[in-house]
Structure 1
Amino acid sequence: MAGLDKDTPLPTDITLHKQSRVLEISFDDGSVFRLPFEFLRVHSPSAEVRGHGPGQETLQQGKRDVDITSLEPVGNYAIKPVFSDGHDSGLYSWDYLYMLGREHDVLWQQYLDCLAQAGGSRNAADLPPPAPKSGCGHHH
């Protein structure tokens, strides 16, 4: 886990909007980000999603309807959401959440592009079990 650098804004407020499936997070620099649960789930920082190196990422599919059932604080630097599909190994540090908020549009478009390349779907009902592994990684 990367530690927080001193320039990372700290969250002043974190709200789970369960109806709209959005995590709203306010930072002390005045930024407010509304991150959909699906977006958070497919960009989980956990090894299960990110793999152990570039190109090792597992494309997450069928997460359109995923919920966050609870949020657990981790020290003073992160939160650990528990998702309705059982995924709970992602630690979202403040700097990672801030980056997700800032880069949301770019990251989301990359994800949609990857899904399209893989012939994947955001709807769980559309997926053939088991979901095929795709070589589509994230490029930064």
Structure 2
Amino acid sequence: MAGLTQETPSPQSLTVHGASRVLEIGFSDGQVFRIPFELMRVYSPSAEVQGHGPGQEVLQTGKRDVDVVQLEPIGNYAVKPVFSDGHDSGIFSWDYLYFLGSRQDELWADYEKRLAAAGVDRDAPMVAKAGHACGH
């Protein structure tokens, strides 16, 4: 999901709603998604969150109140949010934003399962992993 595929509708509108902490994005197929900043941060496509391969994902916690403080365009295919916790390495392609928007319920359920399996809740502070070196 690195770039814009032919199958993904094109974005028509993009609004950052700071007070409600959601990114609203409208697509050419008529879909309008309101993606919570927390969901974006928890599922950031960055290596810091996703790891460098299967099984290396880093469970994100303590992101309920995260804000998007800046949203930078990346060519014609993506945006790069800068989050209030300093995270700024995820490039969100239109494809990936469509995926996040269209599968929110499923993604939240998966996140809750991963939290339960780790024995933490979503407001737990992040714990640094030893030996993790992705530049942050």
Superposed, 1:40-51 pairs within 5 Å as 40-51=40-51
Distance 1:43 1:93 in 2: 13
Structure 2 unaligned regions, length at least 5: 131-136
Supply the AA of the counterpart residue of 1:13: S
Structure 1 unaligned regions, length at least 5: 134-140
Q: Kindly state the Cα deviation for residue 4 of structure 1 after the two structures are TM-superposed.
A: 2.0
Q: Does residue 130 of the first structure (1) align with residue 127 of the second (2)?
A: yes
3-state SS in 2 of match to 1:100:
helix
Q: Does residue 56 of the first structure (1) align with residue 64 of the second (2)?
A: no
3-state SS in 2 of match to 1:72:
strand
Partner residue, 2:114 = 114
Supply the AA of the counterpart residue of 1:38: E
Contact 2:79–2:91 (Cα < 8 Å) also in 1: yes
Supply the AA of the counterpart residue of 2:53: G
Distance 1:130 1:43 in 2: 17
- Please, what is the CA RMSD of the aligned residues? 1.6
Distance 1:79 1:106 in 2: 23
Distance 1:101 1:78 in 2: 15
Supply the AA of the counterpart residue of 1:59: L
Partner residue, 1:97 = 97
Question: Normalized against structure 1, the TM-score is what?
Answer: 0.87
3-state SS in 1 of match to 2:19:
coil
Count how many residue pairs are aligned between Structure 1 and Structure 2.
Answer: 130
Supply the AA of the counterpart residue of 1:79: V
Supply the AA of the counterpart residue of 2:4: L
Partner residue, 2:23 = 23
Question: Normalized against structure 2, the TM-score is what?
Answer: 0.90
Q: Kindly state the Cα deviation for residue 121 of structure 1 after the two structures are TM-superposed.
A: 2.1
3-state SS in 1 of match to 2:48:
helix
Q: Kindly state the Cα deviation for residue 49 of structure 1 after the two structures are TM-superposed.
A: 0.3
Partner residue, 2:134 = none
Q: Kindly state the Cα deviation for residue 119 of structure 1 after the two structures are TM-superposed.
A: 1.5
Supply the AA of the counterpart residue of 2:120: G
3-state SS in 1 of match to 2:99:
helix
Partner residue, 1:12 = 12
Partner residue, 1:65 = 65
What is the identity percentage for the equivalent residue pairs of Structure 1 and Structure 2?
Answer: 64
Supply the AA of the counterpart residue of 1:29: D
